[in-house]
Chains A and B, each alone.
Chain A
Amino acid sequence: MNSIQHIFQQKDKNLLSIYFTCGFPELNDTGKVIQELEKSGIDFIEVGLPYSDPMADGPTIQYSSSVALKNGVNLDVIFEQLLAIKDSNKTPLVLMGYFNQLLKYGEDAFCQKVKDCGIDTVIFPDLPMVEYENHYKTLFAKYGITNVFLITPHTSEDRIRKIDSLTDAFIYVVASASITGAKGDVSNAQVAYFKRIKAMNLKSKLIIGFGISDNKTFTTACEYANGAIIGSAFIKSIDSTGVNGIGDFVKGVLG
């Protein structure tokens, strides 16, 4: 059983996950952010690998990524940082990066490092299903890694069913046709979409992300899914309050 499935076994409602960018705001904050998030009581953590050209991300994560890269962060530094907290950290980590980072690092070398860091779940928003089925499914399985797929309001039912069959950890339900950080309340159209997905009775757990920012949006999302992910709102928060404000931010979201 993988680490995320293990979490779902203990709790399958109101799960909160937080996304952060490695090396932001300061190069050596990676470990501290994870420790503070663990203390705050969230259920799992999305570890963002900063990328020069984050196609699926909005201005906030583009900003945190470019700051992190300027701070001098790179994959080797990140793997060292993650290795250093491996034994003390008990909250499951999900690695989120762009496909070219995996490709350039070396597919096997990358997967080996991920495994060494005790991570077994990855998200590559630009790795399409066809490539996964043709090659990466086997590669990831070799290292005990499972892949998370995203679905959107425009993903067809057939495709959602297929994604469901390929999923071990959870399906990442993109709340709207948008890049990360697009803001606003949960609209009626979004609620209709959440209801439609819920009514499909998928075997996979569902986590809603993109546009979740506070207690109100988190609570709404949890009515239709097993939990939600917050990214941009968290990045903005630590950008202004620093790592020490993490506990208060999470308290605010959980209410």
Chain B
Amino acid sequence: MKYNPDENGYFGQFGGAFIPELLYPNVKEIEDNYINIIESAEFQKEYRDLLKDYVGRPTPLYYAKRLSAKYKSHIYLKREDLNHTGAHKVNNTVGQILIAKKLGKTKIIAETGAGQHGVATATVCALMGLECTVFMGEVDIERQAPNVARMKMLGAKVVPATSGSKTLKDATNEAIRYWIQNPETFYLIGSVVGPHPHPDMVARLQAIISEEMRWQLKEKTGKEEPDTIIACVGGGSNAAGAFYHYLEDENVELIAVEAAGLGVDSGESAATSQLGEVGVIHGSKTILMQDEYGQIVEPYSISAGLDYPGVGPLHAFLFETKRAKFMNATDKEALTAGYELSRLEGIIPALESSHALAVLPKLDLKEDQVVILNLSGRGDKDLETFIKHLDE
């Protein structure tokens, strides 16, 4: 496939593995094995059984009637919020924990922003009886307290990242440093970021989302391809999963929605494609928010899952080649969209997914246009933030 990485892990000019020699054996071990493991019948059976009986897949493709009426089009929600643990993140953690087991690993580490990936990792570690350590920015620990409590209840150790902006990028730095010092551990990365082969591995595990979309939409409409797919992008794992099996269907419009924070030009934003330039973060060449000397800029968004200063290398490639259209939504637009879905459909979305919803009013939707919006997670973890803005 045109959108698979080449032998050095590049999607066009993006990707690669810019890692210290210290990490080389760890990354090489995964690179040498991940495709064989994922494509093996044994893995596929275990992975799919767990997704069905433990995670609760397939997730519904729900026709949102009142939302469609409001935007005068046909909007389907891919209900990743109904997965066990409340977001798409678990698709990846179930897959990677099986890979870790095949590689004989017993200790798992992960980074987390909003805490969804941390919870999903702690969950599968409990399921498999493996030791779990999650790195989380000190700021995120404060703003995502319920998820911190869930991780602890699941038996994981939560380690605060106290450097830099004390958010997702710093949690990732800490996880990588720990991995360097403890090469026997398996780093269960949460998004389509990091050195090759991690972006590709995570995309393949999230691809179940678009695999289901194809047959589900056909069942409902007689056609596998929608006109448009919308997904939010922080690192980009839910978008990678939602786009994956449609990448080569050039007639399907792909829309990636980034967090604009207080506004793209406000200085408080996480709209990487608009504000970034080519750079290297966490071992991957991609589009990166940085200053003129290559120092990484601290991004901002109300949503702890979207304030990442980079974007996965596949997304950088989709942006550069214009295969995907990159849009963005501010904090305020996302909050409004979150309330709107709650009141129209009885579904409280995660703040991350609310960003995807927030572009609906900005699109010139046609009456016969079929849109799938990837509802990546549920909003329970964000209630406090939503409630704070209830009267606005």
Which positions in A face B, CB cutoff 8 Å? 51-53, 55-56, 58, 62, 66, 69, 74-76, 98-105, 125-128, 130-131, 149-152, 154-156, 159, 174, 177-179, 182
Do residues B180 and A179 form an inter-chain contact, with CB atoms below 8 A? yes
Q: Which residues of B contact A154 (CB under 8 A)?
A: 22, 24-25, 183
Residue B391 lies at the interface, judged by CB distance under 8 Å to chain A: no
Do residues B18 and A74 form an inter-chain contact, with CB atoms below 8 A? no
9 pairs, A vs B, C-beta closer than 8 Å: A51-B294, A51-B295, A100-B280, A100-B288, A100-B296, A102-B294, A104-B293, A125-B20, A178-B180
Q: Which residues of A contact B293 (CB under 8 A)?
A: 74-76, 101, 104-105
Residue B274 lies at the interface, judged by CB distance under 8 Å to chain A: no
Closest to B280 in A: A100
For the complex, give the distance between the alpha carbons of A66 and B281 in Å.
17
For the complex, give the distance between the alpha carbons of A53 and B291 in Å.
13
Q: What is the distance, in angstroms, from B125's C-beta to the closest C-beta of chain A?
A: 23
Q: What is the distance, in angstroms, from B323's C-beta to the closest C-beta of chain A?
A: 24
Do residues A150 and B20 form an inter-chain contact, with CB atoms below 8 A? yes
Q: Which residues of B contact A127 (CB under 8 A)?
A: 18
Closest to B16 in A: A131
Residue B21 lies at the interface, judged by CB distance under 8 Å to chain A: yes
Closest to A127 in B: B18
Residue B277 lies at the interface, judged by CB distance under 8 Å to chain A: yes
Q: Which residues of A contact B292 (CB under 8 A)?
A: 104
Among B20, B21, B288, contact of A55 (Cβ-Cβ < 8 Å): B20
Which of the segments B169-177, B343-351, B358-366 contacts the partner chain? B169-177
Closest to A51 in B: B295
If A53-B169, A55-B20, A55-B282 are given as contacts, then 16 extra A-B residue pairs at C-beta distance below 8 Å, sorted by A number, are: A53-B164, A56-B180, A66-B163, A74-B293, A74-B295, A100-B279, A102-B294, A104-B293, A126-B20, A128-B17, A131-B18, A152-B21, A154-B24, A156-B25, A177-B181, A178-B181
Number of chain B residues close to chain A: CB under 8 A:
34
Q: Which residues of B contact A130 (CB under 8 A)?
A: 8
Q: A105-B294, A177-B183 are in contact. Are A52 and B20 (CB under 8 A)?
A: no
Q: What is the distance, in angstroms, from B308's C-beta to the closest C-beta of chain A?
A: 12
Do residues B279 and A104 form an inter-chain contact, with CB atoms below 8 A? yes
Chain B 114-156, CB-CB to A under 8 Å as 1, else 0, gives: 0000000000000000000000000000000000000000000
Do residues A100 and B290 form an inter-chain contact, with CB atoms below 8 A? yes
Q: Which residues of B contact A66 (CB under 8 A)?
A: 163-164
Q: What is the distance, in angstroms, from A222's C-beta to the closest C-beta of chain B?
A: 22
Among A74, A76, A103, A159, contact of B280 (Cβ-Cβ < 8 Å): A103
Q: Which residues of A contact B8 (CB under 8 A)?
A: 130
Do residues A126 and B19 form an inter-chain contact, with CB atoms below 8 A? yes
Among B19, B25, B281, contact of A53 (Cβ-Cβ < 8 Å): B281
For the complex, give the distance between the alpha carbons of A131 and B17 in Å.
9
Among B18, B181, B288, contact of A126 (Cβ-Cβ < 8 Å): B18
For the complex, give the distance between the alpha carbons of A104 and B277 in Å.
9
Closest to B292 in A: A104
Residue B160 lies at the interface, judged by CB distance under 8 Å to chain A: no
Q: A55-B177, A101-B294, A104-B292 are in contact. Are A126 and B283 (CB under 8 A)?
A: yes
Closest to B184 in A: A177
Residue B278 lies at the interface, judged by CB distance under 8 Å to chain A: yes
Q: What is the distance, in angstroms, from A149's C-beta to the closest C-beta of chain B?
A: 7
For the complex, give the distance between the alpha carbons of A150 and B280 in Å.
19
Q: A52-B164, A126-B283 are in contact. Are A99 and B181 (CB under 8 A)?
A: no
- Among A62, A66, A151, A152, chain B packs the most CB atoms within 10 A around the CB of A152
For the complex, give the distance between the alpha carbons of A90 and B67 in Å.
72
Q: Which residues of B contact A174 (CB under 8 A)?
A: 21-22
Q: Which residues of A contact B177 (CB under 8 A)?
A: 55, 58, 179
For the complex, give the distance between the alpha carbons of A69 and B238 in Å.
35
For the complex, give the distance between the alpha carbons of A76 and B292 in Å.
10
